[in-house]
Amino acid sequence: MTNLMTHPIRILLTLALLALVFVAATCTAPAPPPTTQAQPQPQPLPQETATPMCAKTLNIAHRGARSLAPENTLAAARKGLALGADLWELDVALTTDGVPFVVHDDTLERTSNVKAVFPDRKPFTNYLFTLDEVRRLDFGSWFVATDPFKQIAAGNVSKAELESYKGEVAPTLREALAFTKDNNWRVNVEIKDLTGTPGDATVVEKVVALIDELGMADRVLISSFNHAYIQRVKQANPKIATGALVERADPDPVALLKRLNAQAYNPKVGQISPAEIGKVRDAGYDVYIWTVNDEATMKQLIAARASGIFTDFPQLLKPLAEGCK
């Protein structure tokens, strides 16, 4: 009797034991790894352009509103600001003691009374004068005497303004930048080509250092006909926008700007076609054209999507171009 019962009991016990082992194995099996989601990839930053805050054609007061005030002075800058220009353009050179100051010509003769004050210093070359000597000069009376744009004769400059221009000084770059910053304005600083002078080795770095000191990298466009200066600007501060000035049309403006790491192409009026303006703009660069003083050409350039127009008559361009701050 006992031997007959033992066999089926063993079978049942074996089956029960196998069931327990299966359940235990199921409970302790590792959970499948969680599904991982793809991490978002960082998007490339948009290319910085010379006018990142404006898609309209900018009204650029060339050397200030120099048809109504002596060029490259704070008087001309104030006039351009009052007329609603989007920014002003100035030229910078160095005194013999290394101070950046605002002047266009290579000599002081045309726009000051240097011949009367320093008659023995011919040819009155800029870099041979100290800042103290430059400060002794009158950079306003020549405008009153010559009426270079015939706006005095036309009655567009008041007697009070004419009187105030006498004795106007050439500002230092620091003063010009401070004026721009204080008025929440913008400026195109053209660095004059000082090749062959002592200032050639330091002018770019001094200009950039002043811009950095005043915290104005986002409010300044630096341009030059000396394209090596443009590259030096980028080495000193890559965040400052730059423009390549050209007297004659470059065969491939986009390639030029890529090579210089510049943001703007600045050709002389008549040296770029409307179609070429569109190509440069579509490639992500700005086109600033100098110097335009007639309404018909202004309208053509606005229609061609020029980024900005340098003009001695910002009062003429103002109604034609919707600028922006």
Output the DSSP codes for 164-188.
HHTTPPPPBHHHHHHHHHHTT--EE
Give Cα separations from 302 to 55, 276, 292 (angstroms): 11, 14, 12
Could you tell me which of 169, 151, 167, 175 has the C-alpha nearest to residue 314?
Answer: 151
Our CA dihedral for 251, 255, 260, 262, rounded to 10 degrees, sits at 100
Q: Which segments of the chain are extended strands (E)? A: 58-62, 87-94, 100-102, 187-191, 220-224, 241-246, 264-267, 286-289, 308-311
The amino acid sitting at 55 is: A
Residues annotated as part of the active site: 62, 104
- Beta strands 100-102 and 87-94 are antiparallel
Q: Report the distance separating Cα 210 and Cα 215, nearest Å.
A: 9
Could you tell me which of 44, 46, 45, 49 has the C-alpha nearest to residue 285?
Answer: 49
Q: Report the distance separating Cα 207 and Cα 55, nearest Å.
A: 27
Q: Are 199 and 98 in contact (CB under 8 A)?
A: yes
Structure tokens at 24: 């235990």
3-state helix, strand, coil in the chain (%, to 5): 40, 15, 45
The helix or strand, by DSSP H or E, that contains position 75, with its residue range, turns out to be helix 74-82
